[in-house]
Amino acid sequence: MTNRRTFVLLGLAFSCAVIVGLFSGSRALLAQESSDAKPLRVLLVVGGHGYDKENLHAMLRSFPNTVFEEITIPEKQDLLKPGLSKDYDVLMFHDQSFFELSDEQKANLEALWGEEGMPTVMLHHSLISHPEFPLFREVFGAQFLLNETEINGRTYPKSTYLRPTDLNVYIVQREHPITKGVSDFKLNDEVFKNVYFNPHIDVLATTDHPESDVPVLWTWRYKKSPVFGIIQGDAGGAFNDPNYRKLVYQGLCWLVTQ
């Protein structure tokens, strides 16, 4: 990471720390405190599946001092390459992609995550993307399996889903910067079961829903890239929930400190 980028991220981290401390206060106070701070720049990646654009965009617009742009893949896949971190602070995936990546596109992703280091959020649908390309499973620390799959000598069953459904979300690391100030809560959203999880992910929240796996929120690191993953995020039941919004916003802020 260059000295310039380190300086920029330190500034973002300070801004986030101030804003998160005031998160439960008035919007006017938040706006005043953050008006002169450098905005946190998010690139949202979608494509391959319908999604609740209205509510997802509303959630992102609700975040203090945050700006976002959206691209659709595969049309804009070639934008995801080294140098992206000059224009964006966090890469957020909410796609569900099955198109074939070229060798150059695969190399660009590996260089972006492995060599340059790109803070990344994995939301819901993207857990299913590119099942034929193991890099996504390695980067996200998890994967929804479309078929019975062998990974590192172990056979994992096909994943399943159920939507919409009510679930309990339990915060298991209450002092982590992503979960701080968030209590256990209920959510109405889609759940996944029999997802592959890397055994070394750091689980921050869980559920006891019978049709879901236990982990629902985690952090991970792929080489130089910090990663924040969250299972829920199918529609407005999640995107409009204040607890969910706070977790995602604090996750963005955490990523730029890593």
The radius of gyration computed from the CA coordinates of the chain, to the nearest angstrom, equals 17
Question: pLDDT value at position 16?
Answer: 75
pLDDT above 70 for 13: no
Q: Are 125 and 176 in contact, with CB atoms under 8 Å apart? A: no
Tell me the pLDDT band of 9, cut-offs 50, 70 and 90: low
pLDDT above 60 for 254: yes
Domain of residue 230 covers 3-255
Express each pLDDT in 209-226 by its tens digit. 999 999 999 999 999 999
Domain count, the chain: 1
Please give the sequence-ordered ranges of beta strands (E in DSSP) within the chain, or none if there are none: 40-46, 66-72, 90-93, 120-123, 142-143, 149-151, 154-156, 160-171, 185-193, 196-197, 202-206, 215-222, 225-230
Task: Spell out the residues 6+ positions from residue 165 whose beta carbon is closer than 8 angstroms to its own.
Answer: 188, 189, 190, 191, 209, 211
Alpha carbon distance 143, 149 (integer Å): 11
CATH, residue 55 = 3.40.50.880
| Residue corresponding to tokens 């986030």 | 16
Q: Give the largest Cα separation in the chain, rounded.
A: 55
Q: What is the pTM of this model?
A: 0.88
Tell me the pLDDT band of 26, cut-offs 50, 70 and 90: very low
Task: Spell out the residues 6+ positions from residue 77 whose beta carbon is closer than 8 angstroms to its own.
Answer: 99, 101, 105
Strand 196-197 relative to strand 142-143, pairing: antiparallel
Alpha carbon distance 91, 140 (integer Å): 12
Q: If we measure between CA atoms, which residue out of 41, 50, 44 comes closest to residue 15?
A: 41
pLDDT above 80 for 151: yes
Segment 35-42 shows an average pLDDT of: 84
Regarding predicted confidence, which is higher, 9 or 79?
A: 79
DSSP state of 102: P
Alpha carbon distance 255, 177 (integer Å): 10
Express each pLDDT in 174-190 by its tens digit. 999 999 999 999 999 99
Question: pLDDT value at position 37?
Answer: 80
Express each pLDDT in 119-149 by its tens digit. 999 999 999 999 999 999 999 999 999 999 9
Express each pLDDT in 40-93 by its tens digit. 999 999 999 999 999 999 999 999 999 999 999 999 999 999 999 999 999 999
